[in-house]
Amino acid sequence: MSDNRSIAYQEGDISIYRASGTGSCITALVAAKAGYEEARSQYSENILMNAAREGNMHEGAVIDTLKTEYGWRVDGSQDLMEMQIIPKVVIRGHIDGFCIPKKARNQRLLEVKTMSRDRFKKWMALGDDARSRLLTDEFDKYAWQISNYMWHYGMSAMYVVKNRDSGKLDISEIKLPPIDKKTIRKKIIQVEMWAAKGDIPPCKAASSDQFFCQYPYLHDNDSPFGAEPDNEEAPIDDATTALLSSMAEHYDGLAKQVAMLKPLDDERKEVGQKLVAAMGGVDGPKNVVAGGYQITRVDNTRKFVDKVGVATELGITVEEYDAIVERNKNAKTYPYPRVKKIGEK
């Protein structure tokens, strides 16, 4: 159900933060609480309105499909959730429902999202784990919303995403909230502190988030690139700065995705070693067919220098060999960037 109210507002003496808006940057949340006028471009406003309208239209259909075709029990749609952060400060939202999937015993939260074909493709391309997908820059606002619900109700969630073009459903269970409760609480308290001072913090949001921000005129309060360069440094023109910012943002996003996938890659390597061992190791067959899978053992040979063998052949000691190698080493520089988003630890 769409809600036209601001992402943060006062209700008497109670500060209300919308669960779906807690993923917004602190600048936008403070501005909303202070009553700043929203000024999205008509283009971005139309995109969001169409997405909300499509989401409302498809949500009921998804729930009906889960009931009739998947055999789920679903109830509690649009129940009000209020989670207190500190006295007189709450996060408020409406859940899509509670569900019990077929053959399951325990109740879970239900969260339904609908996406365009291209956005659904991005969602599916980020791996098999929905929680990891939600922790990417592309979908992190969804992560804040579902985390609020999961912490409040203390239960796992079934995350159902529908491709609006094809009707395909991606169904995942999220057992651990993507965002830590302390992180949520810290962010909301920071907003309250800025609002109490009557000041607006500089915007540190990524350019992709700024495009849909309600307060685009606040983005230029402070330079997103940090302190001014020293006089001895060569100046960078505006065009180059914009290019560097865009490429750094892209690099930073890729680095975060790789970091999240590393545990999975380590597990893949471990399972691979067990798989080779089960085939008989290097003495077993190179090709095995099992359960519809063609499994091939690839004998990747790594070359290394036998220092003892080389030293013996040359008639010298290993120490003398090491000394010769050390004298003939040549260093070559391989530059690479280290990117850190300003404001992040």
Per-residue model confidence as pLDDT tens digits over 66-122: 999 999 999 988 899 999 999 999 999 999 999 999 999 899 999 999 988 899 999
Same domain, 187 and 80: yes
Same domain, 260 and 186: no
- Which helix H or strand E contains 288, and what residues bound it? strand 287-290
Q: What are the two backbone dihedrals, phi and then psi, of residue 80, each rounded to the nearest 5 degrees?
A: -80, 135
Same domain, 156 and 249: no
Q: Is residue 29 part of a domain?
A: yes
For the purposes of burial, counting CB atoms within 10 Å of the CB of 296, is it exposed (0-12), middle (13-18) or buried (19 or more)?
Answer: exposed
- The more confidently predicted of residues 73 and 5 is 73
In the three-class reduction of DSSP (H, G, I as helix; E, B as strand; rest coil), residue 233 is classed as coil
Q: Is residue 228 part of a domain?
A: no
Q: What is the DSSP letter of 159?
A: E
* Torsion angle (degrees, nearest 10) of CA 304, 307, 310, 313: -140
Same domain, 110 and 19: yes
> For the chain, how many structural domains are there in total?
2
Same domain, 158 and 59: yes
Q: Is residue 264 part of a domain?
A: yes
CA angle 79, 148, 59 (to 5 degrees): 50
Q: What pLDDT is attached to residue 85?
A: 94
Q: What residues make up the domain containing 248? A: 237-345
pLDDT band at residue 57 using 50, 70 and 90 as cut-offs = low
Same domain, 325 and 262: yes
Bridge partners of 113, per DSSP, are: 161
d(CA 18, CA 25) in angstroms, rounded, equals 13
pLDDT band at residue 9 using 50, 70 and 90 as cut-offs = very high
Other Cβ atoms within 10 Å of 172 Cβ, number: 16
Q: Is residue 57 part of a domain?
A: yes
Per-residue model confidence as pLDDT tens digits over 228-254: 444 444 455 566 666 677 777 777 778
CB 113 within 8 A of CB 143: no
Q: Is residue 1 part of a domain?
A: no
Same domain, 77 and 192: yes
Indicate if the pLDDT at residue 214 is higher than 80. no
Domain boundary among 176, 197, 218: 197
Same domain, 172 and 39: yes
Q: Is residue 64 part of a domain?
A: yes
Per-residue model confidence as pLDDT tens digits over 136-176: 988 999 999 999 999 999 999 999 999 988 999 999 999 99
Domain boundary among 169, 197, 225: 197
Rounded alpha-carbon distances, angstroms, from residue 237 to 206, 232, 246: 20, 15, 14
Count Cα atoms within 13 angstroms, Cβ side, for 305: 9
Q: Is residue 210 part of a domain?
A: no
Domain boundary among 172, 197, 222: 197
Q: Is residue 3 part of a domain?
A: no
Same domain, 186 and 242: no
Same domain, 145 and 263: no
Q: What are the two backbone dihedrals, phi and then psi, of residue 227, each rounded to the nearest 5 degrees?
A: -70, 160
Same domain, 101 and 190: yes
d(CA 198, CA 34) in angstroms, rounded, equals 8
Does this model's pTM top 0.75? My answer is: no
CATH number at residue 47: 3.90.320.10
Longest dimension (CA), the chain: 90
Per-residue model confidence as pLDDT tens digits over 284-331: 888 888 888 888 888 887 787 888 888 888 888 988 888 888 888 887
Distance of alpha carbon 199 from the chain centroid: 29
Indicate if the pLDDT at residue 42 is higher than 50. yes
Same domain, 89 and 192: yes
Q: What pLDDT is attached to residue 225?
A: 37
Q: What pLDDT is attached to residue 224?
A: 38
* Torsion angle (degrees, nearest 10) of CA 78, 35, 52, 186: -60
Distance of alpha carbon 192 from the chain centroid: 25
